[in-house]
Amino acid sequence: MNTIVKNGKLLLTCEDHFETADQDLYIAGDRIAGIGAQPEDFTADETIDASGMLIIPGLINAHTHVYMTVLRGVADDVPFEKWLFEGVMPKEEAMSSEEAYQSARIGLMEMIKSGTTCFNDMQMFIGQACRAAVELGIRGVSGRGLAGDLSEPVPGGSRRINEAFQEMQDFGKEPLLTFALAPHAPYTCSEDLMRRVPQLAAEHGLRLHIHLSESRNEVENCIKEHGMTPIAWADHCGCFDVPAVAAHCVHVTEDDIRILAEKHVSVASNPASNMKLGNGFAPIPEMLSAGINVCLGTDGAASNNRLNMFHEMSLMALIHKGNKEDPVSVSAAETLRMATINGAKALGLDAGEIAPGKLADLVFLDLSEPSLMPFNENTDPASALVYGATGAEVDSVMVGGKMILQGRKFVNH
């Protein structure tokens, strides 16, 4: 299937900024084939008129838990440990697979309607988020959350690892899905599990997805138990010997930042969740200076409570300015890169920018929405998207060359 997208305004990635161009876009199958000039041997099966639309690369939510969407609002304004152990975990345990599927559907619909084309999920109900993602047509990376101990037979780490591989077998042929191994966190995983998971990831060519250094207590307890910070501990156990996405990384030392940079770990920052649970601010400016690939996530709806990457971008660009009393800290362009090309890099995807050869994961924003006005030759597009847009401007969404939301309506199914 070949598609020409005509009359749209394309958002193009440059070295350190973004530009727009009024050019046609050529899509062959699931990838961008050309911009401006028609590629050789290209015959269009379909033409999309994108008049009045700003076309941006789809946003990539680098850390979430979509099965938790029905837990939105169940434990707000309570301390982190109370939120997790008394609010979220008992309700998760009482949840059925069908509820997890419905929950994932709601969460993914919210994401698509606010311009997300790919989500990096850590889940507890194998197959349910995958099933919802396939139905809605969104791209996803699924990681069964791993916890426990390898020595206990049931329920434990081994069972969860088996479930992770079962899901890969069940959904491995789905073109929009890839998989990661997702040890939940050092405080829920035994040492043998923390060591075994990266070995398995290396054997199977998988990425690793983990929570690290989210709260002050977690760091203090890890130092008491293992004599090192969660990041040093994860490194010690081999977690960074494979491509890894570490969510949060709020309470980190200079040494932690050095380890993350040296081991090319991608940090998925979740500013709303970190603030809502009173965990603080990740040192994003320091991480960017160290050359770390910082990407952006919403976390689950129980701790955000939105799954809207426009909201998350706005927070990311604002909070560090406020926290550091420095208006040049974390620019709009840096933030937009986190939500697009950095997210793609973290997940090993050829996506996150409008360029030939990249996956055709695109979001069409309605430039007639007041929140995007004025949008003219003097407008910095990154600033318009990060500080002005809310996600309500999303008119249509394409994933892998196929429209999944058109005129604000779901069209995949």
Residue 311: CB minimum distance to Zn ion, A: 17
The residues near 262 (Cβ < 8 Å, ≥ 6 apart) are none
For position 312 contacting Zn ion by CB under 5 A, the verdict is: no
Q: Which of residues 121 and 395 has its CB atom nearest to Zn ion in the complex?
A: 121
- Count of residues binding Zn ion (CB under 5 A)? 1
Residue 210: CB minimum distance to Zn ion, A: 10
Residue 185: CB minimum distance to Zn ion, A: 9
Q: Which of residues 30 and 299 has its CB atom nearest to Zn ion in the complex?
A: 299
For position 218 contacting Zn ion by CB under 5 A, the verdict is: no
Q: How far is CA 34 from CA 2, 4, 41, 191, 196, in A?
A: 11, 10, 12, 49, 44
> Could you give the CA distance from residue 393 to residue 389 in angstroms, rounded to a whole number?
7
Q: How many CB atoms sit inside 10 A of residue 29's CB?
A: 13
How far, rounded to the nearest angstrom, does the alpha carbon of residue 226 sit from its chain's CA centroid?
Answer: 30
Q: How far is CA 185 from CA 200, 253, 260, in A?
A: 17, 18, 16
Q: Which of residues 87 and 137 has its CB atom nearest to Zn ion in the complex?
A: 87
> Cis (ω within 30 of 0) for the bond into 374?
yes
Residue 401: CB minimum distance to Zn ion, A: 31
Residue 146: CB minimum distance to Zn ion, A: 13
Dig out the tokens for 317 from the structure: 């660009």
Packed helices 191-204 and 157-171: angle between N→C axes, nearest 10 degrees: 20
Task: Indicate the pairing of strand 116-123 with strand 25-28.
Answer: unpaired
For position 299 contacting Zn ion by CB under 5 A, the verdict is: yes
Residue 230: CB minimum distance to Zn ion, A: 14
Closest C-alpha among 290, 309, 298, 236 to residue 273: 298
Q: Which of residues 55 and 219 has its CB atom nearest to Zn ion in the complex?
A: 219
Site string for Zn ion, 143-172 (x = CB under 5 A): ------------------------------
Asked if 208 contacts 219 with a C-beta cutoff of 8 angstroms, the reply is no
Q: Which of residues 3 and 213 has its CB atom nearest to Zn ion in the complex?
A: 213
Q: Which of residues 114 and 215 has its CB atom nearest to Zn ion in the complex?
A: 215
Dig out the tokens for 59 from the structure: 């946003």
The CA-based dihedral angle spanning residues 168, 246, 113, 97, taken in that order and rounded to the nearest 10 degrees: 40
Site string for Zn ion, 244-273 (x = CB under 5 A): ------------------------------
The residue of the chain with the least Cβ separation from Zn ion equals 299
Residue 135: CB minimum distance to Zn ion, A: 24
Reported residue count of the chain is 413
The stretch near Zn ion (CB under 5 A) out of 43-51, 144-152, 296-304, 389-397 is 296-304
For position 369 contacting Zn ion by CB under 5 A, the verdict is: no
3 state SS for 276-323 = HCCCCCCCHHHHHHCCCCEEECCCCCCCCCCCCHHHHHHHHHHHHHHH
Dig out the tokens for 406 from the structure: 């058109």
For position 110 contacting Zn ion by CB under 5 A, the verdict is: no
The stretch near Zn ion (CB under 5 A) out of 49-57, 254-262, 292-300, 392-400 is 292-300
Residue 268: CB minimum distance to Zn ion, A: 9
For position 395 contacting Zn ion by CB under 5 A, the verdict is: no
Contact footprint for Zn ion (CB under 5 A) = 299
